[in-house]
Structure 1
């Protein structure tokens, strides 16, 4: 599968085949905003501030000749924003669940965040467990083995990253996008087969697909529900 990541969003005359919504979740101060900044802008800021509510950035990715615009939503980790951010899970097709490898408590809270995803997001959601700040290995409080074992038990992808030096940041995001694309491609193929047999259009579970012609300034969105 050929993969490319654009340096920036495409201009007004470019066609976007899909828009994927991915959320970043986890405790406050684990580096979610810095991961987003590193992936979307290839930057890192030493002066970080807590996210208020929800923020998002976009990045264009090319998979198998398709142009995919990724909307990455950075959700606040503070308790007072949980009621606000939970509404954003419902249309997400991917998530990066982030903890800080130097803060054991942030890893202990991972099951709680995963439960939120199970409640508010669709079961087809692609989830990557991310141990951030691996550049601070001398301050490590959560072992790689422990986190990897948990991810395997829960059926999650897993990587350790560093927003500071860019270790595995691109890989983490692109892995999630590839898996989302595989799911959509498989469902589209199944739909084509069923329609070819004279059956009605199937409904798919939880995959929100947007096809947008950017030069027209509008979009057509179809959310399909059903079994994976």
Structure 2
């Protein structure tokens, strides 16, 4: 009886039911279904800046991962039309000009496409917390909540991989590990695509995820 009452058993069920009850649009209940076995979605967003409260999403890239394969034929790549335009500083980073995003999708339509693409699959990304925060801010008016899928941080997997390789004395001393994207990709022997392109960044995160799973034996 004690096992049946364990919080580790009933809490996830209770949380799921609470989120479903408060879901702003029941059309998106599918995000709470059990995910397809051994599948993930790597994603990345390009934005007008790094302020999650005021900046806007201007591009979303996502690609499905099935087992050890990156399904580049099953990808999502959309431009999003911002409400407040694009600054010259942000153009220098992602090379998306005002006229490039002028014909982009409204954010609500872009998010609907993204949610249908993701389904209930766990999310993978490099510094994914920022992308999810930007997406969730835009999703709250529509759903009353953010993306419910599990999130997997590639830089965290890489940190664990490198930490396991350190001698005991360096672990105890708290040796620093370089988590820069280019460093990680080079160390894993993976190709670098042009950065600050949403789809390219999603594909590179997917490559790193698959390689790190292989190294872990997962």
Structure number having the greater strand percentage: 1
TM-score, normalised by the number of residues in structure 2: 0.30
Structure number having the greater helix percentage: 2
